[in-house]
């Protein structure tokens, strides 16, 4: 025959009540406070970190996209700038070339004019010189002719011929 | 005497709990079949409800024990 | 995988066989069980006591009960006894002094300071004229007589010494007699098998969780590793499926309590499942579950806010005459909640342990000491036991989870803010 009293697990005895109470409270206040709480904190921290990382990655991606757009804009701007600069440079070059050409032409004209003037001048001086020399020579010849006339005709004639042969027009 | 009327009482209590838990389990299966993505929530609630039904049966069993104590 | 399964099956067969050896021995030898008596020539002076049959119920009760010795296989390890008798004061000694038999029944052959060990549990000899100190007795179990007290059948246990029966008392219990216990001549504050199991589980859990907590600190910012991963799975499950949905934004305050409950119960449930290591039935002892439920009761009600108490004593939004019915029901509910918590865990774990013992006991019911029948039944009951043990493994988790989730829902109801 089985008696309920043999079913000892259904009757709470004081010793086990006391020890369970003690051990569970110990469990709660040591493991609960010093292990479960830190673990929960660490998990929360990690969750936070993961969320942060995801946010950061998203932000980085956004930034990257922004940067790319900006770069493209910059590139377009640069390209435009370049073409503008090139155009300007071409204009400047053309202008300089034209200016130089004009200047060169004027200079050349001036040089030519100067040269002509000089030539004229020289020519005039040479003519004057020639005139002077011709005058002097004429005088000289005249002097000598006059002297020879006194010595004979034939001889005079020969002499004049001799003189004429001597004359060289420069 | 222990184990005669008590046994009948326990058996009756268990019939009730069995029907209850069977209903819960069956409905939970149907719910899972209908919405397989909610399986986690359904399972947790199923266990909770089964525990509550079981609690009622346990009280009945203990009272059956007590009332038949020699 | 197959190799593991095979070795597992072998282990089960072995443990069943060891158990049957143990009990078969007892049966063939005619040594008494609790209710069984013997016809030992030394005890003839105590009168004839009928030979008992194998009683599966009694065997199961014996195996799930708390003990003052720790049985591992055939060995009985002594545990410290701390006993208090109001008449004689405190007694401290080791239960090894009882000189327990080696059959795993826990009957001590020596009485120490008026205490004897029967069925693994310390009993006090009521009569103070019993000699003090260590006295050799021939203890083969109880001599049970049934008396009528106040019109109720009551069982009186006695042991035999000096050709005389000496009535013994079991330890005092806190049930007030409703379950057959009550205040007796002594209180047992010993470190019993269950207490030792709790201490072992406490130590294991402390080691496990402190190392996990340390791992979180040392490996901050790194992925979890090893046992940390396993524990994290359970931890996060309880945190996200139990604490957060039921407690709302206050979940962090109650997390250590819920986690302690879950892992304490789970650890004890699983520790009790180990077949050879004492098979302690800690969470299947009502004292343990009662303490857990009472602590839960205080945590719930001490944290109850105005809204909670208003819903109990003066439910808003219902007519006055309904309130007169509802209020007593609600007040009763406050106390029924911890009672169901206590009983649910206790009944589930005890039932599991008992079913396993009774399945193994089938060997002796059908075998009756014959080898062929014993072996045949052993195969069947091993398969049944394995099935039951796998169910119990599931129950160990489910009951720990249910206790925690119900506690969380009670705390959640008690701390919920008014929203209407």
A111-131 pLDDT tens trace? 999 999 989 988 899 888 888
The verdict on C232 and C153 lying in the same domain is no
Q: Give the domain range for residue C338.
A: 2-16+195-415
The beta-carbon neighbor of A2 closest among B3, B65, B69 is B3
Given strand C89-94, what is the order of strands in its sheet?
Answer: C89-94, C80-85, C187-188
| Residue pair C184/C124 in contact by the 8 Å Cβ criterion | yes
Residues 12-41 of chain C whose Cβ lies under 8 A from any Cβ of chain B: none
Q: Write the DSSP assignment of C365-413 as a string of letters.
A: HHHTT-HHHHHHHHHHHHHHHHHHHHHHHHHHHHHHHHHHHHHHHHHHH
Chain C residue with minimal CA distance to B50? C402
- List phi, psi (to 5°) of C303: -100, 0
Q: Identify the chains in contact with C, defined as 3+ C-beta pairs within 8 A.
A: A, B
Average pLDDT value for residue range C218-235: 82
Predicted pLDDT at C25: 38
Predicted pLDDT at B23: 94
- How many structural domains does chain C have? 2
B55 with C344: Cβ contact below 8 A: yes
Predicted pLDDT at A26: 93
B55 with C343: Cβ contact below 8 A: yes
How far does the CA of residue A5 sit from the closest CA of chain B (Å)?
Answer: 10
Contacts of A39 in chain C (CB under 8 A): 209, 212-213, 216, 231-232, 235
pLDDT band of A95, cuts 50, 70, 90: very high
| Residue pair C112/C98 in contact by the 8 Å Cβ criterion | yes
Q: Identify the chains in contact with A, defined as 3+ C-beta pairs within 8 A.
A: B, C
Q: Which residue has the higher pLDDT, A11 or C201?
A: C201
Determine which helix (DSSP H) or strand (DSSP E) holds C165, and give its type and residue range: strand C164-169
C210 with A3: Cβ contact below 8 A: no
Predicted pLDDT at C6: 58
Q: Is C150 on the interface with B (CB under 8 A)?
A: no
| Residue pair B13/B60 in contact by the 8 Å Cβ criterion | yes
A4 with B3: Cβ contact below 8 A: no
pLDDT band of C52, cuts 50, 70, 90: low
Chain B residue with minimal CA distance to C344? B55
Tokens read off for C233: 């799975």
In a domain, C200, yes or no: yes
Chain A residue with minimal CA distance to B69? A4
In a domain, A10, yes or no: no
Average pLDDT value for residue range C116-123: 84
Q: Identify the chains in contact with B, defined as 3+ C-beta pairs within 8 A.
A: A, C
Residue B2 CB burial class (10 angstroms; 0-12, 13-18, ≥19) = buried
The DSSP code for C116 is E
pLDDT band of C268, cuts 50, 70, 90: very high
Predicted pLDDT at C360: 84
How far does the CA of residue B28 sit from the closest CA of chain A (Å)?
Answer: 32
Determine which helix (DSSP H) or strand (DSSP E) holds C136, and give its type and residue range: strand C134-136
Report the SS3 class of residue C124.
Answer: strand
B55 with C340: Cβ contact below 8 A: yes
Q: Provide the angle, in degrees to the nearest 10, between the axes of the packed helices C193-218 and C227-237.
A: 100
C406 with B62: Cβ contact below 8 A: no
Residues 111-140 of chain C whose Cβ lies under 8 A from any Cβ of chain A: 121
Q: Is A14 on the interface with C (CB under 8 A)?
A: yes
Residue C209 has pLDDT above 60, yes or no: yes
Q: Is C203 on the interface with A (CB under 8 A)?
A: no
Report the SS3 class of residue C327.
Answer: helix
Q: What does the pLDDT look like over C388-400, one tens digit per residue?
A: 899 899 999 999 9
Helix, strand, coil percentages (3-state) for chain B, rounded to 5, are 90, 0, 10
Predicted pLDDT at A74: 94
Where a domain ends, among C164, C191, C218? C191
Contacts of A2 in chain B (CB under 8 A): 2-3
Average pLDDT value for residue range C303-311: 87
The DSSP code for A33 is I
- Residue owning tokens 């770069």: A71
Q: Is C110 on the interface with B (CB under 8 A)?
A: no
Predicted pLDDT at A146: 78
Percent share of chain A, pLDDT over 70? 92
Give the ipTM. 0.84
Q: Mean pLDDT, chain A, as a whole number?
A: 87
Size of interface B-C (CB pairs under 8 A): 39
Chain B residue with minimal CA distance to A6? B2
In a domain, A24, yes or no: yes
Average pLDDT value for residue range C258-286: 89
Within A14-156, strands assigned E span none
Q: Is A164 on the interface with B (CB under 8 A)?
A: no
Contacts of C405 in chain B (CB under 8 A): 44, 47-48, 51
Q: How far apart are CA B58 and CA B48, in angstroms?
A: 15
Q: Which residue has the higher pLDDT, B69 or A84?
A: A84
Residue C186 CB burial class (10 angstroms; 0-12, 13-18, ≥19) = buried
pLDDT band of C29, cuts 50, 70, 90: very low
A32 with C281: Cβ contact below 8 A: no
Residue C23 has pLDDT above 50, yes or no: no
Percent share of chain C, pLDDT over 90? 18
A5 with C155: Cβ contact below 8 A: yes
Closest C-alpha among C240, C239, C228, C351 to residue C286 = C351
Predicted pLDDT at A1: 44
Q: Mean pLDDT, chain C, as a whole number?
A: 80
C339 with B69: Cβ contact below 8 A: no
Q: Is C246 on the interface with B (CB under 8 A)?
A: no
Within 13 Å and on the Cβ side, how many CA atoms surround A61? Answer: 6
Predicted pLDDT at C295: 95
Average pLDDT value for residue range C70-92: 85
Q: Give the domain range for residue B29.
A: 2-68
In a domain, C420, yes or no: no
Give, in order, the Cα–Cα distances in Å from C2 to each of C7, C8, C379, C389, C393.
9, 10, 20, 19, 20
Q: Is A6 on the interface with B (CB under 8 A)?
A: no
Predicted pLDDT at C26: 39
Least confident of A46-50, B59-63, C191-195, C342-346: B59-63
Q: Is C336 on the interface with B (CB under 8 A)?
A: yes
Residue B41 has pLDDT above 80, yes or no: yes
A3 with B65: Cβ contact below 8 A: no
Which one of A14, A16, A29, A46 makes the best mutation probe of the C interface by having the most chain C beta carbons within 10 Å? A16
In a domain, C297, yes or no: yes
Where a domain ends, among C191, C221, C252? C191
Least confident of A130-134, C18-22, C288-292: C18-22
The verdict on C251 and C135 lying in the same domain is no
Q: Which residue has the higher pLDDT, C103 or C239?
A: C239
Contacts of B55 in chain C (CB under 8 A): 340, 343-344
Closest C-alpha among C94, C90, C206 to residue A23 = C206
How far does the CA of residue C3 sit from the closest CA of chain B (Å)?
Answer: 33
Q: Which residue has the higher pLDDT, C61 or A82?
A: A82
- How many structural domains does chain B have? 1
Q: Which residue has the higher pLDDT, C133 or A80?
A: A80
Q: pTM of this prediction?
A: 0.76
Predicted pLDDT at C33: 38
Q: Mean pLDDT, chain B, as a whole number?
A: 82
How far does the CA of residue A72 sit from the closest CA of chain B (Å)?
Answer: 45
Q: What does the pLDDT look like over A31-50, one tens digit per residue?
A: 988 888 888 888 888 888 88
Where a domain ends, among C159, C191, C223? C191
In a domain, A119, yes or no: yes
The verdict on C347 and C411 lying in the same domain is yes
pLDDT band of C39, cuts 50, 70, 90: very low
- How many structural domains does chain A have? 1
Residue C347 CB burial class (10 angstroms; 0-12, 13-18, ≥19) = buried
- List phi, psi (to 5°) of C408: -65, -40
């Amino acid at each position: 025959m089985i008696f309920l009293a043999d079913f000892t697990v259904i009757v709470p005895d004081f010793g086990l009540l006391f020890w369970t109470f003690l051990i569970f409270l110990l469990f709660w206040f040591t493991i609960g406070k010093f292990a479960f709480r830190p673990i929960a904190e660490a998990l929360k921290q990690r969750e936070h970190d993961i969320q942060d990382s995801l946010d950061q990655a998203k932000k980085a991606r956004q930034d990257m996209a922004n940067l790319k757009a900006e770069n493209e804009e910059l590139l377009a701007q640069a390209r435009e700038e370049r073409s503008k600069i090139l155009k300007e440079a071409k204009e400047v070059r053309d202008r300089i070339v034209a200016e130089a050409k004009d200047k060169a032409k004027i200079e050349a004209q001036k040089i030519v004019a100067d040269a002509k003037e000089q030539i004229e001048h020289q020519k005039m001086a040479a003519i004057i010189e020639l005139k002077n020399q011709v005058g002097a020579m004429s005088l000289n010849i005249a002097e000598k002719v006059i002297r020879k006339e006194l010595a004979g005709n034939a001889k005079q004639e020969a002499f004049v011929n001799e003189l004429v042969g001597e004359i060289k027009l420069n | 005497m222990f184990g005669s009327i008590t046994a009948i009482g326990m058996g009756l209590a268990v019939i009730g709990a069995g029907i209850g838990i069977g209903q819960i389990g069956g409905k939970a299966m149907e719910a899972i079949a209908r919405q397989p993505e909610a399986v986690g929530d359904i399972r947790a609630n199923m266990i909770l409800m089964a525990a509550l039904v079981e609690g009622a049966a346990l009280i009945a069993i203990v009272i059956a024990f007590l009332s038949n104590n020699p | 995988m197959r190799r593991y399964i095979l070795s597992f099956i072998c282990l089960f067969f072995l443990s069943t066989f060891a158990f049957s050896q143990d009990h078969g021995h007892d049966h063939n030898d005619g040594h008494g069980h609790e209710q069984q008596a013997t016809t030992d020539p030394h005890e003839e002076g105590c009168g004839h006591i009928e030979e008992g049959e194998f009683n599966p119920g009694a065997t199961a009760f014996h195996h799930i009960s708390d003990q003052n010795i720790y049985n591992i296989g055939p060995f009985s390890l002594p545990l410290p006894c701390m006993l208090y008798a109001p008449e004689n004061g405190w007694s401290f000694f080791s239960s090894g002094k009882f000189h327990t038999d080696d059959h795993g029944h826990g009957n001590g052959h020596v009485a120490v300071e008026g205490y004897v060990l029967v069925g693994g549990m310390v009993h006090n000899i009521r009569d103070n004229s019993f000699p003090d100190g260590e006295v050799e007795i021939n203890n083969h179990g109880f001599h049970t007589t049934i008396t009528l007290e106040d019109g109720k059948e009551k069982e009186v246990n006695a042991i035999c010494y000096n050709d005389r029966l000496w009535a013994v008392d079991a330890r005092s219990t806190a049930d007030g007699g409703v379950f057959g216990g009550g205040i007796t001549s002594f209180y047992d504050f010993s470190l019993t098998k269950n207490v030792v199991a709790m201490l072992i589980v406490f130590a294991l859990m402390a080691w496990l969780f402190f190392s996990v907590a340390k791992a979180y600190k040392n490996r901050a910012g790194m992925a979890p590793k090893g046992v940390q991963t396993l524990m994290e799975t359970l931890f996060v499950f309880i945190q996200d499926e139990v604490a957060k949905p039921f407690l709302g934004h206050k979940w962090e305050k109650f997390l250590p309590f819920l986690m302690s409950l879950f892992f304490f119960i789970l650890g004890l449930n699983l520790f009790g499942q180990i077949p050879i290591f004492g098979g302690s039935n800690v969470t299947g002892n009502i004292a343990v579950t009662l303490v857990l439920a009472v602590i839960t009761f205080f945590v719930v009600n001490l944290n109850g806010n105005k809204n909670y108490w208003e819903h109990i004593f003066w439910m808003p939004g219902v007519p006055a005459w309904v309130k007169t019915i509802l209020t007593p029901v609600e007040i009763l509910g406050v106390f029924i909640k911890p009672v169901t918590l206590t009983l649910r865990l206790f009944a589930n774990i005890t039932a599991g342990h008992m079913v396993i013992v009774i399945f193994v006991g089938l060997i002796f019911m059908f075998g009756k000491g014959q080898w062929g029948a014993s072996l045949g039944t052993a195969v069947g009951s091993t398969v049944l036991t394995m099935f039951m043990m796998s169910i119990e493994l599931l129950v160990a988790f489910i009951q720990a989870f249910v206790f925690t989730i119900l506690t969380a829902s009670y705390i959640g109801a008690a701390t919920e803010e008014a929203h209407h």
